[in-house]
């Protein structure tokens, strides 16, 4: 099974039976809880040269939310 197929299967299993809008609404609180108490420097640090930092990952998620919601902020 391809990586994409595995990802889709795992995501489907995680979301099964849950309210998708409630999950989206709760995501910022969950992310804030996960990074609470971590220094800004640690959040910006890339674990390896070609890997994203936590800040870059969160930024990507936020940008994806804007694009997929159709809200460009204008």
Closest C-alpha to 46, from 38, 58, 37, 56: 56
User: Which residues of the chain fall short of a pLDDT of 50?
Assistant: none
Q: Where are the domains of the chain?
A: 18-69
What tokens were used for 6? 């595995």
Phi, psi at 13, each rounded to 5°: -65, -40
Angle at which helix 54-69 crosses helix 20-35, to 10 degrees, equals 160
Closest C-alpha to 43, from 30, 54, 52, 34: 54
CA–CA gap between residue 53 and residue 61 (Å, rounded): 13
């Amino acid at each position: 099974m391809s990586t994409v197929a595995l990802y889709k299967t795992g995501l489907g299993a995680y979301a099964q039976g849950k309210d998708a809008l409630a999950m989206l609404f709760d995501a910022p609180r969950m992310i804030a809880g996960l990074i609470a108490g971590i220094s800004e420097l640690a959040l910006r640090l890339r674990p390896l040269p070609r890997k994203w930092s936590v800040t870059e990952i969160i930024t990507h998620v936020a940008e994806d939310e804007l694009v997929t919601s159709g809200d460009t902020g204008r």
